[in-house]
Structure 1
Amino acid sequence: MDKRVMVFAPAPLLTVTIEQQADAVELHLHPGGQGVWQTRMITCLGVPVTLCVSLGGEVGDTLGRLLDEEDVTLRVVRRGASTGWYVHDRRDGSRAEIAEDPGAPMVRHDIDDLYTVTLTEGLRAPVSVLSGPASPDVVDPDIYRRLAADLSANGGIVVADLSGDYLRAVLDSGVAVLKVSHEELIDDGYADDDSVGTLLAAGRALQRKGATSVLISRAGEPALALLDDGPARLVHAPPLELADHHGAGDSMTAGVAAVLARGGDMEEAVRTGAAAGALNVTRHGLGTGRAEAVRELVDRVRIVPLDESEGHGAENDGAEGDDGDR
């Protein structure tokens, strides 16, 4: 196996964005969706990616041509139903949704073909990333369960960035790293609120259900890391001016996967993920950045052990004058 990452993105999106540049209005077409954004950051970090997708209809044809221009190995399964898309207006500096369509649900024949292609490529890669669709109606969660179980059973490292039924589907299937946001934990009923103690308890529950390590992103707050059976840790990303918070969590997942594919350990992976996520919020492009910038930020990430018995008060431990366990 070479040092590459397989990214499973069953339902990518064609993204159409309207922007204002001086006196001109510009229209931008790009490949999008969680798996595509993760792929973009992984390749920025110098790790090759095989991207497994399903495309259909006129939108799928356009998206396929755009994906061909990305620096990835692309494996496409054609399907009859159309691929999803969205149109956003960013002329005033914020994102305003004009229209969207997540795409039609995949039928069993499409899923079988995509499973076979994805399993093949996942067996060739040391690390596989399972990314979720934009809508829970597009892809049956069982394909995630099967992929996580089969890739893990054959020695692969599975990194899952999922929520809802997709998260539940992979929990007992051998997931090495589960990345989830605090909002998703609350929405899915694993946490009642966003306090540190409550989120840590939710993360530990997910570990007991089968995830080896759990990373919990918290928007602008430090992330929480539960690595194997070690102590909980607070991950302080470098402070940077926010341009667009979208995509930070996907970049974190990408950084983790890139390091693991190169044979790095989990602490290095978490540092790189935090650095990649921090860099992404300084840019308007999702999943974008430069490897040299991420490398400079990695050493500025602080990882601070948490006393889980302290719960709510633990977040401030080591926040002043302490470099943690760098």
Structure 2
Amino acid sequence: MIVTLTPNPSLDRALDLPRLELGGVNRAAAEHLHPGGKGLNVTRALAAHGVSSRAVLPVGGPDGARIVDLLGEQGVAAHPVRVAGDTRSNLTLAEANGRTTKVNSPGAPLSAAEVDTLLAAVEAELLPDARALVIAGSLPVGQADSLLTRAIDLGVRAGVPVVADTSGAPLDTAVAHGGLALVKPNDEELAELVGTELSTVGDVQGAARELIAGGIGAVLVSLGSHGALLVHADRSWWAGGPALVPLSTVGAGDCTLAGYLAAADPDPAVRLARSVAWGRAAVLLPGSAVPGPADIHPSEVAVVVDPDPATTLKEL
């Protein structure tokens, strides 16, 4: 089983628009409602493929209750922790040309007692059959980063590989704390983390290996429309496919991570190919919908072992 922790879940509302007219009246062609938040998206994607996963998340207010109802309707295993603050709601505006605009609410901070209860729920789920703990997504504004480090320590003590997918200060904190088997930044997040621009494959490899030298097991870097790069201490793999016109990019990186975790084959090339196939499938779905088996097309994904470091990311 793969356990996920989403400290700042959301009820994701997505509107499909022919074109976003700033400052004008926009009429949506369709509306979509999904449980959201990175870790929750990972569990939802895994569940759609019959991979055992359980999501731990704080919920409060009407939107929190709606998330619990939606997860139940979809048969997604969850361990909701009731909190006093209202769960946030995020808005996505998806245009017909593939451009996506997101407006994310900050989320209500958790009290010290609520953090304790949330982490106790994580610890309760780290049973002997747990094969990964995924800590993913943002923290509510004002929330102490210690929530992340305490969660990492729970996984380490349980002997469960810990995966982090966050950004900004929380990512800095998680990487500096150590104990991570895998981190999954995108190229912009990785550039911010190491403090340098990344324009070539070699730049990304070098930045990822800075993290690995500091104690991170491996780095999976999503490159948006240019695929993904998996970096180990001594090898790297790139995977990608033909250009797509996305319906929505929301949650695509989470599905990329889910595909990587779902792969039973230990071969990194096989795992990365599956990972990218899941991410590509996600962008062709509305809102933050997750792909099922019928949506995945692995034959469209090519893998290159130890790609040329001089290749620019735009050339991939």
Per the normalisation by structure 2, the TM-score is 0.84
What residue ranges of structure 2 are gaps of 5+ in the alignment? 19-26
- 1:177 is aligned, of 176, 182, 185, to 182
TM-superposed CA distance for 1:306, in Å, is 3.2
Return the structure number with greater relative CO, CA threshold 8 A, min gap 6.
Answer: 2
Separation in 2, partners of 1:249, 1:314: 21
Greater shift, 198-207 or 235-244, is seen at: 235-244
TM-superposed CA distance for 1:9, in Å, is 0.9
Gap change, CA 1:170 and 1:88, over 3 Å in 2 = closer
Gap change, CA 1:180 and 1:316, over 3 Å in 2 = closer
Equivalent pair of 1:271/1:298 in contact (CA under 8 Å): no
TM-superposed CA distance for 1:232, in Å, is 2.5
Gap change, CA 1:272 and 1:15, over 3 Å in 2 = same
- 2:6 is aligned, of 6, 9, 21, to 9
Moved over 6 A (4+): 314-317
Residue deviations 1:159-195 (CA, integer Å, cap 9, x gap): 2212222223332432111111011122334432333
> Paired residues, what number?
304
RMSD (CA atoms): 2.9
Residue deviations 1:62-100 (CA, integer Å, cap 9, x gap): 222222223222111111111111234447665455x65
Q: Map of 1:1-80 to 2, 5 A cutoff? A: 4-19=1-16, 26-80=30-84
Separation in 2, partners of 1:285, 1:100: 14
Separation in 1, partners of 2:111, 2:180: 26
Separation in 1, partners of 2:260, 2:169: 23
Q: Report the secondary structure of 2:227's partner residue.
A: strand
Separation in 1, partners of 2:314, 2:60: 50
Residue deviations 1:273-319 (CA, integer Å, cap 9, x gap): 1111122222224352122443x416843132135xxx4348799x8
Residue deviations 1:88-137 (CA, integer Å, cap 9, x gap): 4447665455x65232111111100000101221344111111112x552
Gap change, CA 1:276 and 1:104, over 3 Å in 2 = same
Separation in 1, partners of 2:209, 2:95: 43
What residue identity is the alignment partner of 2:32? H
Aligned to 2:131: 126
What residue ranges of structure 1 are gaps of 5+ in the alignment? 320-326
Equivalent pair of 2:181/2:217 in contact (CA under 8 Å): yes
What residue identity is the alignment partner of 2:159? G
Equivalent pair of 1:55/1:79 in contact (CA under 8 Å): yes
Greater shift, 111-120 or 8-17, is seen at: 8-17
Aligned to 1:302: 303
Aligned to 1:192: 197
